[in-house]
Structure 1
Amino acid sequence: MKKGIHPAYDYVVFRDTSSDTSFRIRSTCTSDRTIVWEDGKTYPLVELDVSSASHPFYTGEQRRVSAEGRVARFQQRFGQFSRQPSDSGQG
C-alpha cells in the first residue's frame, strides 16, 4: 500500500440520538466534536439519526402491513371510480 494516501483508521464513538446509545468502533470517519468514553480517553464523536439500536428491522418493532388492509383502503378511497359491470345481457 502507498504511504500517506489512506485515511486514519482509529476508534470513533457513534451516538444514536434517537435511542441515546453510543458505540465505540474503529472507523475512518472524522469529526470536530469529541467525547470522553468510559475508559477515560477522548474520541471523535459522530452523531447518527438511526443505528442498529433504533432501526425497526434490528429492534424487532417493525410493523407488518397486510396486503389485504392496503387493498381495502385503496378500494375505500378509489372504489367509486371503478367501472361497474353493466347488465347488457352479454355473457
Structure 2
Amino acid sequence: LEALSDEKFEVRWLAAEGLIRIGRKAIVPLLEVLVNHSDSYWLREGIHHVLHDMNTGKITEVLRPVLVALEGLEPSLEVPLAAQAALDALIKKSC
C-alpha cells in the first residue's frame, strides 16, 4: 500500500496493478488507508485506479460514493467520510 504514494509513476502503477490482481481482498485495507491518509494526492490517485477497476458487480453500490469523492473538488475532506461509510456498509453486509 505504501508504494501507491511513491513519487515515481512506475512504482505506483505496479503497486496498483498488484492490488488489482489481489482482487476484492484488497478493498478493505484500501478503504482503511483512505480513512486515515487521504491527504496524499498520489495515494488517492493510485487507490482510485484500483477501486475503479474493481468497481463491478454488487460492490459497485459500496464503491461508487468513494470514487465520486476521489474525483470531487475536496477529496482530502470528502474521501475519509466516503471510505468510512463504505467500510461500514461492507461490515454490515458481512454480518
TM-score range, shorter chain: under 0.3
Structure with the largest fraction of helix: 2
Give the TM-score of the pair, scaled to structure 2. Answer: 0.20
Structure with the largest fraction of strand: 1
When Rg is computed on C-alpha atoms for both structures, the one with the higher figure is: 1
Which has the bigger relative contact order, CA under 8 A and spacing at least 6?
Answer: 2
